[in-house]
Amino acid sequence: MEVAALSLLLLLNSLDSGSAQVSPTVAPKRSQFFKYDSFSVSCEEEELTGWRVMKRMKDGEVRPCPSSCSITAAFPATDSGVYWCETGLGETSNTVNITVTGRLEGSITYTLKYTGSVILESPVLPVMEGDDVTLSCRCKVTTSACDLKADFYKDGLPVGTSSTRNMTIRSVSRCDEGLYKCNVLGFGESPESWLTVRAPPAGQDPPAPLLSVSTLVRHLVVGTPYLLSTILVGLIYRDRARARHASKARRTSNDVIMEMAAKQTVTSYINSDT
Q: What is the pLDDT of residues 195-205, one digit of tens each?
A: 999 988 765 55
Per the domain annotation, does 9 fall within a domain? no
Q: What is the pLDDT of residues 67-126, one digit of tens each?
A: 668 899 999 988 999 999 988 788 888 889 999 987 544 444 334 444 578 999 999 889
Residue 244's Cβ-count burial label (10 Å; 0-12, 13-18, 19+) is exposed
Per the domain annotation, does 133 fall within a domain? yes
Say whether both 92 and 142 belong to one domain: no
Say whether both 88 and 156 belong to one domain: no
Give the separation between CA 87 and CA 68, rounded to whole angstroms: 14
Helix (H, G, I), strand (E, B) or coil at 238: helix
Q: How many CB atoms lie within 10 A of CB 222?
A: 9
Give the separation between CA 54 and CA 32, rounded to whole angstroms: 18
Give the separation between CA 22 and CA 99, rounded to whole angstroms: 22
Which distant-in-sequence residues (6+ apart) come within 8 Å of 196 by Cβ? 125, 126, 127, 177
Say whether both 87 and 131 belong to one domain: no
* CATH number assigned to the domain comprising residue 72: 2.60.40.10
Q: What is the pLDDT of residues 150-199, one digit of tens each?
A: 999 999 999 999 988 999 999 999 999 999 999 988 788 999 999 999 98
* Average pLDDT for the chain: 75
Question: C-alpha distances in angstroms, 198 versus 55, 86, 122, 130, 177?
Answer: 23, 22, 15, 10, 9
Closest CA to 82 of 60, 49, 51, 52: 60
Range of the domain at 72: 18-100
* Final residue before a domain boundary, out of 58, 82, 100: 100
* Final residue before a domain boundary, out of 62, 85, 100: 100
* Final residue before a domain boundary, out of 100, 115, 149: 100
H helical segments located in 133-212: none
Per the domain annotation, does 77 fall within a domain? yes
Percent with pLDDT over 70 in the chain:
64
H helical segments located in the chain: 2-16, 46-49, 76-79, 213-273
Give the separation between CA 53 and CA 41, rounded to whole angstroms: 7
- Amino acid of residue 87: T
Give the separation between CA 21 and CA 45, rounded to whole angstroms: 12
Give the separation between CA 46 and CA 49, rounded to whole angstroms: 6
Q: How many CB atoms lie within 10 A of CB 78?
A: 14
Per the domain annotation, does 171 fall within a domain? yes
Per the domain annotation, does 244 fall within a domain? no
Number of domains into which the chain is organized: 2
Say whether both 54 and 132 belong to one domain: no
Q: How many CB atoms lie within 10 A of CB 14?
A: 23
Say whether both 147 and 95 belong to one domain: no
- Geometric angle at alpha carbon 37, from 183 and 56, rounded to 5°: 90
Per the domain annotation, does 113 fall within a domain? yes
Say whether both 58 and 115 belong to one domain: no
**Highest mean pLDDT out of 4-13, 159-168, 208-217:** 159-168
pLDDT at residue 233 greater than cutoff 90: no
